[in-house]
Amino acid sequence: MSLVKQNQSTVKVVSETGLSHNTLNRRERRHASRQKAKTAKKPDLSVLLKEMPPYVARNFPRFRELTGYSPRTMANMDALGQTTGIKRIMLGNTVAYERESLVHWLENRSWVIS
């Protein structure tokens, strides 16, 4: 059952949980996307193991081409703790990722569309 709240000139439909339908739909879509990612077929990115050096630095010239992420995005994800599955080392002033754990992390974050 939904309630209708009227605030001056706008009418807002609110569910039993107190969330508007827009918020609820956004949450449902996000949840559905996560469920789809869990059940979707994972790609085989083992070909990257042959293309990458043992440790891939963020300033590696083909980093974006091989991973699909810019080095700056990876740095931001590191800061947010979203790359905890990747082993990394410092090479001078540059962060480098271990090849095998980077490819495994990429496989876990990807799924086959069709």
Picking from 114, 6, 101, the residue whose alpha carbon sits closest to that of residue 45 is 101
Whether residues 24 and 65 share a domain: the answer is no
Using one digit for the tens of pLDDT, what is the confidence trace for 48-69?
999 999 999 999 999 999 999 9
Tell me how far apart the alpha carbons of residues 41 and 48 are, in angstroms, rounded to a whole number: 18
Mean pLDDT, range 84-113, rounded to an integer: 94
Whether residues 24 and 71 share a domain: the answer is no
Whether residues 85 and 55 share a domain: the answer is yes
Which domain range does residue 77 map to?
Answer: 47-109
More confident residue, 79 or 14: 79
Whether residues 105 and 55 share a domain: the answer is yes
Q: What token pair was written down for 28?
A: 């449902």
Pairing of strands 55-57, 88-91: unpaired
Amino acid of residue 66: L
Whether residues 69 and 105 share a domain: the answer is yes
Whether residues 73 and 99 share a domain: the answer is yes
Whether residues 82 and 102 share a domain: the answer is yes
pLDDT at 17: 56
pLDDT at 27: 75
Tell me how far apart the alpha carbons of residues 101 and 93 are, in angstroms, rounded to a whole number: 21
Whether residues 24 and 57 share a domain: the answer is no
pLDDT at 42: 86
Residue 18 lies in a domain: yes
Mean pLDDT, range 21-34, rounded to an integer: 68
Whether residues 57 and 30 share a domain: the answer is no
Residue 114 lies in a domain: no
Reply yes or no on whether the pLDDT at 41 is more than 90. Answer: no
Whether residues 95 and 58 share a domain: the answer is yes
pLDDT level of residue 34 (50, 70, 90 thresholds): low
Residue 14 lies in a domain: yes
